[in-house]
């Protein structure tokens, strides 16, 4: 007899958009997802996720940092620009996201805000921290 486990569900977010794009694995931290749901409710509009969980192998293959919060299941990249990006940043700071990466140049479809909740004191990952992408 095969028992099929119920899949995890998070209000506003599909498992598909959060899965590793390379392997399909899904290991998002519940505490992170709770904060992301609060952000979605404060922004009061859909948040399109371009990257969620990443396996260490996939993260390395795409050139991600070896210390990426994506491999911890504590990060997402949200497709946004302009006023929406500003609103997301404002609320992310209020909610205590500790890592904020900003890519707001180039084609609008490729612009995003990275958010994570890595704790202060994790070796090799300075937090709180804000950075921009080239």
Beta-carbon contacts of residue 123 (< 8 Å; ≥ 6 apart)? none
Tell me: the pLDDT tens digits for 12-66? Answer: 999 999 999 999 999 999 999 999 999 999 999 999 999 999 999 999 999 999 9
User: Which residues neighbour 117 within 8 Å (Cβ) at sequence distance 6 or greater?
Assistant: 29, 31, 32, 35, 69, 74, 75, 96, 97, 98, 99
Contact 53, 70 (CB under 8 A): yes
Domains of the chain: 15-132 (3.30.1380.10)
Say what the pLDDT of residue 4 is. Answer: 41
Mean pLDDT to the nearest integer, 84-89: 98
Q: What percentage of the chain exceeds 70 in pLDDT? A: 94
Q: Which two tokens stand for residue 5?
A: 């486990």
pLDDT, residue 8, reads 59
Asked if residues 101 and 67 have their Cβ atoms less than 8 Å apart, the reply is no
User: pTM of this prediction?
Assistant: 0.92
Question: DSSP strand E in the chain: where?
Answer: 48-51, 75-79, 99-103, 112-116, 129-132
Quick check: 73 pLDDT over 60?
A: yes
Examine the pLDDT at 2 and tell me if it is beyond 70.
no
Amino acid 1: pLDDT: 47
């Amino acid at each position: 007899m095969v028992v099929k486990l119920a899949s995890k569900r998070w209000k506003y977010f599909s498992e598909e958009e959060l899965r590793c794009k390379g392997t399909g694995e899904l290991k998002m931290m519940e505490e992170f997802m709770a904060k992301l749901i609060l952000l979605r409710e404060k922004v009061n509009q859909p948040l399109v996720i371009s990257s969620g969980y990443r396996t260490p192998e996939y993260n390395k293959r795409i050139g991600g940092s070896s210390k990426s919060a994506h491999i911890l299941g504590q990060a997402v990249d949200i497709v946004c620009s302009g006023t929406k990006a500003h609103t997301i940043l404002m609320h992310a700071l209020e909610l205590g996201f500790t890592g904020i990466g900003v890519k707001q140049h180039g084609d609008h479809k490729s612009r995003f805000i990275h958010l994570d909740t890595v704790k202060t004191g994790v070796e090799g990952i300075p937090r709180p921290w804000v950075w921009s992408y080239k």
